[in-house]
Amino acid sequence: MSEHTTLRMEGILKEFPGVVANDHVNLSVERGEIHGLLGENGAGKSTLMKILYGLYSQDDGDIYLDGERLDLESPQDAIDAGIGMVHQHFMLIPRLTVAENVVLGEREPATAFRSDSADSWLPAAVRNNSLVQSLAGQFSLGLDVPEQRIQALADQYGFDIDVSAKIWELDVGQQQRVEILKALYRDVDLLILDEPTAVLTPTEAERLFDSLERLTDEGLSIIFITHKLTEVDAIVDRVTVLREGKNVGTAEVSSVTRADLAEMMVGREVLFEIDRDAVDLGDPVLRARGVKATDNRNIEALSGVDLTVRQGEIVGIAGVSGNGQKELAEVMAGIRDVTAGEILVNGEDITGAKPKTFVDSGVSFVPEDRLQYGCAEDLSVMHNATMKDFRDGRFGDRPFLDYGKLRDYAETLVDEFDVRGVSDVTETKAGDLSGGNLQKLILAREIYRDPDLLVANQPTRGVDVGAIEFIRETLLEQRKAGTGIILLSEDLDEIFDLSDRILVVYEGEFVYETTPAEADRERIGLEMTGGGGDDGGEVDTSPPSPGVTQGSES
């Protein structure tokens, strides 16, 4: 054991009904290093980290920090021991200032009113209620908030945050830095970051990496969960790979290739290239004209977009998050009202119709926020797998649905899409699946019904390399089968690899159109940030005529 070792987890065992999430895992982390934790969806990464943060207790095994054995019964115990964790879902109170949130940390009422959390016991409707939030705000009265000290801490690490600002005024990258500040304020020596870049734009991710390097220069150790191998190359010193709950190896990043890591994770070779065969375009499945919509704060988010998608066509939408992508996806899927314009699916005007009409018209939707819109967390995998189709007669007539058929259908989806962690489709709850497996389940539900139009918002976010490969191939197969696809992704490589046409969205408008073959990446980058100049405005969003072959270029 190195004298620099700060953390040792030895023989950690954690079982859930039907699943061994951690199977005698060893992990050691050295002082001042960034230690990557890699593994497929469901490999046991989050479970191991929740044990280290006192959220779960292990069934067996020991944890030592600086040689001292820890007995962690709550996150507070972990924090007291010097361990902090930043979750994927932030736990901040929007109406309080940065400094107030930092001081509250994860104590009450911060935990009681946290803004978003996968495992929150408060229903979202209650958590997001303005009265509840303002009540939470009042708890801050009387708090002793050493603003200057917190500002100095933020400045010390180059966080570029005004700590007197309210959380709701900050962008996602800044909110994440507040979460890190909460831990630093409590003097942690070891910081766990659970897929920290999943919610960040590439530029924000770069900034985060700079901050992390400053932290490790000061002697802090960081455990960094990620699915992105490029990030491992960029900032990680050593990496541990988990597969099916076991540690399959720890390596110096400089001594392994990306392909080695992918193979360690998945247990087979992963192809990083995909073949996109030529496909004949058919009739338009979607024709949207002059569509306007507002965001959740009632501010205009789409200012009159035209979009046509044909059978067999993937239209990739590139843009920096927050430029109307979410609203665009939701409007086209029928779950957000338009304030102007029209939407025709298969030639039929269904503007303003209920979501069910969109579903019945052959529209499928993979939402960005899986927990809020994608699934019913507390219902079984079977309920979630069949919730869009149980009315269509295949499963019998309501209320006498054929339970056996529903179950068989759900099991087929789980098998075909390799959804792991399901011991019984009628028992396992959707909310108990790992993030990536939940994503696969939602994709399975949306794709298996063979939609005419598929709206996929960030379909591969948070999923492992093997699953990314699978999802991309599935989208291409669906395109071949004649589905028209709107692909919204912050991953430009994904847009390039899959799309027939690329549209750049900026401030609620399409400002640039190109194809992967003709695309100029620099120009796309400029357009995404509004720097494309006036000539970027001329966008003809109608695709080539039916029968035109596209897509053999990659």
**Interatomic CA distance for residues 190 and 84, integer angstroms:** 6
Return the number of the residue (35 or 479) whose C-beta is nearest ligand ATP.
35
Return the number of the residue (242 or 495) whose C-beta is nearest ligand ATP.
242
| Least distance in angstroms from the C-beta of 38 to ligand ATP | 9
**Interatomic CA distance for residues 167 and 162, integer angstroms:** 10
Return the number of the residue (10 or 244) whose C-beta is nearest ligand ATP.
244
| Least distance in angstroms from the C-beta of 243 to ligand ATP | 10
Q: Which one of residues 101, 380, 434, 457 is an interface residue with ligand ATP (CB under 6 A)? A: 434
CB 448 within 8 A of CB 413: yes
Does the footprint of ligand ATP cover residue 193 (CB under 6 A)?
no
Q: Which one of residues 7, 9, 12, 21 is an interface residue with ligand ATP (CB under 6 A)? A: 21
Directed axis angle between helix 147-156 and helix 172-185, to 10°?
A: 110
Does the footprint of ligand ATP cover residue 44 (CB under 6 A)?
yes
Does the footprint of ligand ATP cover residue 192 (CB under 6 A)?
no
Q: How many residues bind ligand ATP (CB under 6 A)?
A: 19
Region 460-489 residues binding ligand ATP, contact defined as CB under 6 A: none
**Interatomic CA distance for residues 4 and 9, integer angstroms:** 15
Return the number of the residue (28 or 437) whose C-beta is nearest ligand ATP.
437
Half-sphere exposure of 211 (CA within 13 A, CB side): 28
Half-sphere exposure of 273 (CA within 13 A, CB side): 4
Q: Which one of residues 84, 94, 435, 536 is an interface residue with ligand ATP (CB under 6 A)? A: 435
Q: Which stretch binds ligand ATP (CB under 6 A): 174-182, 296-304, 431-439, 541-549?
A: 431-439
Amino acid present at 378: D
Q: What is the DSSP letter of 329?
A: H
Q: Which stretch binds ligand ATP (CB under 6 A): 40-48, 181-189, 299-307, 363-371?
A: 40-48
Q: What is the DSSP letter of 97?
A: B
**Interatomic CA distance for residues 215 and 79, integer angstroms:** 17
Q: Which stretch binds ligand ATP (CB under 6 A): 34-42, 74-82, 151-159, 478-486?
A: 34-42
| Least distance in angstroms from the C-beta of 64 to ligand ATP | 21
**Interatomic CA distance for residues 4 and 21, integer angstroms:** 29
Does the footprint of ligand ATP cover residue 432 (CB under 6 A)?
yes
- C-alpha dihedral sign at 156, 161, 165, 170: negative
| Least distance in angstroms from the C-beta of 250 to ligand ATP | 16
Return the number of the residue (39 or 508) whose C-beta is nearest ligand ATP.
39
Return the number of the residue (45 or 87) whose C-beta is nearest ligand ATP.
45
Return the number of the residue (226 or 323) whose C-beta is nearest ligand ATP.
226
Nearest to 8 by CA among 28, 32, 30, 25: 28
Return the number of the residue (434 or 499) whose C-beta is nearest ligand ATP.
434
Encoded tokens for 102:
């930092």
Nearest to 380 by CA among 354, 351, 409, 360: 409
| Least distance in angstroms from the C-beta of 445 to ligand ATP | 17
Q: Which stretch binds ligand ATP (CB under 6 A): 16-24, 166-174, 322-330, 478-486?
A: 16-24
| Least distance in angstroms from the C-beta of 68 to ligand ATP | 26
Does the footprint of ligand ATP cover residue 240 (CB under 6 A)?
no
Return the number of the residue (163 or 422) whose C-beta is nearest ligand ATP.
422
Q: Which one of residues 28, 47, 140, 311 is an interface residue with ligand ATP (CB under 6 A)? A: 47
**Interatomic CA distance for residues 133 and 124, integer angstroms:** 12
Return the number of the residue (284 or 436) whose C-beta is nearest ligand ATP.
436
**Pairing mode of beta strands 221-225, 238-243:** unpaired
Return the number of the residue (405 or 429) whose C-beta is nearest ligand ATP.
429
Q: Is 204 exposed, middle or buried (0-12, 13-18, 19+ CB in 10 A)?
A: buried
Amino acid present at 334: G
Q: Which one of residues 46, 201, 311, 384 is an interface residue with ligand ATP (CB under 6 A)? A: 46
Residues 6+ apart with CB under 8 A from 533: none
Does the footprint of ligand ATP cover residue 458 (CB under 6 A)?
no
Does the footprint of ligand ATP cover residue 384 (CB under 6 A)?
no
Return the number of the residue (15 or 360) whose C-beta is nearest ligand ATP.
15
Q: What is the DSSP letter of 380?
A: B
**Interatomic CA distance for residues 359 and 365, integer angstroms:** 9
Return the number of the residue (145 or 442) whose C-beta is nearest ligand ATP.
442
| Least distance in angstroms from the C-beta of 116 to ligand ATP | 16
**Interatomic CA distance for residues 395 and 401, integer angstroms:** 6
Q: CA angle 323-324-329, nearest 5°? A: 140
Q: Which one of residues 196, 312, 421, 536 is an interface residue with ligand ATP (CB under 6 A)? A: 421
CB 318 within 8 A of CB 524: yes
**Interatomic CA distance for residues 228 and 462, integer angstroms:** 9
Q: Which one of residues 27, 28, 39, 338 is an interface residue with ligand ATP (CB under 6 A)? A: 39
Region 300-359 residues binding ligand ATP, contact defined as CB under 6 A: none
Q: Which one of residues 54, 436, 508, 536 is an interface residue with ligand ATP (CB under 6 A)? A: 436
DSSP 180-247: HHHHHHTT-SEEEEESGGGGS-HHHHHHHHHHHHHHHHTT-EEEEE-S-HHHHHHH-SEEEEEETTEE
Measured from the Cβ of residue 277, the count of other Cβ atoms closer than 10 Å reads 12
CB 51 within 8 A of CB 14: yes
Does the footprint of ligand ATP cover residue 16 (CB under 6 A)?
yes
Nearest to 487 by CA among 518, 457, 451: 457
Q: Which stretch binds ligand ATP (CB under 6 A): 43-51, 182-190, 198-206, 307-315?
A: 43-51
Directed axis angle between helix 403-416 and helix 435-448, to 10°?
A: 110
Closest CB to ligand ATP: residue number: 421
Return the number of the residue (160 or 369) whose C-beta is nearest ligand ATP.
369
Backbone angles phi, psi at 330, to 5 degrees: -70, -35
Please give the residue ranges that form the binding site for ligand ATP (CB under 6 A): 16, 19, 21, 39, 41-47, 420-421, 432-437
